[in-house]
Amino acid sequence: MKINFKIATPERVVFKDDIDSVTVPTQMGEITILPNHIPLISILVAGEITIRNGEETIAMSVAGGFLEVLSTKVVVLADRAERSEEIDVERATEAMKRANELREEKAVDSREFAALSAQIEKEMARIRVGRKHSRRVEQRGFNVKKYK
């Protein structure tokens, strides 16, 4: 039995397929969803989504959103989501550094501090997923820079 899985952002459908399982970061912690999971609605936090389909594993970065689980259907409505191969780790690192500098350099109110902290968390998730993918590609003997 498979799960009908879909992850969409306001801009596009990032992934849609029948899969074996999916692991998502929620406010209550990371959960893995298998076929016939109990119905669930949850809030997603910034982190990594791991999709398993047979021998294939697909990693994605997510920057928050909502998760709906029905027995054989899972829908993720994400604020932002990227497949691991789409992530530019250097750009994410620069964005995280800029947000860190802004948070530390100028006097920010609690709202700005929270927004900058959330931005840092999102960029850290992108960096983790992007680096993990780069290591997998390098282990297979491919030149990562050549394919970017």
Dump pLDDT digits (tens) for 41-61: 999 999 999 999 999 989 899
Tens of pLDDT along 120-148? 777 878 777 887 776 655 555 544 443 33
Question: What is the model's pLDDT at position 104?
Answer: 78
**Which of 44, 62, 83 represents a domain boundary (last residue)?**
83
Buried b (16+ CB within 10 A) or exposed e, 25-40: beeeeeeebeeebeee
**In this predicted model, which residue has the larger pLDDT, 74 or 82?**
74
The token pair at 134 is: 């780069």
Longest dimension (CA), the chain: 54
pLDDT at 18 over 70: yes
Mean pLDDT of the chain: 83
**Which of 59, 83, 107 represents a domain boundary (last residue)?**
83
Residues, the chain, total?
148
Domain count, the chain: 2
Which pTM does this prediction carry? 0.71
Domain that holds residue 115: 87-147
- 64 with 79: CB under 8 angstroms? yes
Q: Are residues 78 and 101 in the same domain?
A: no
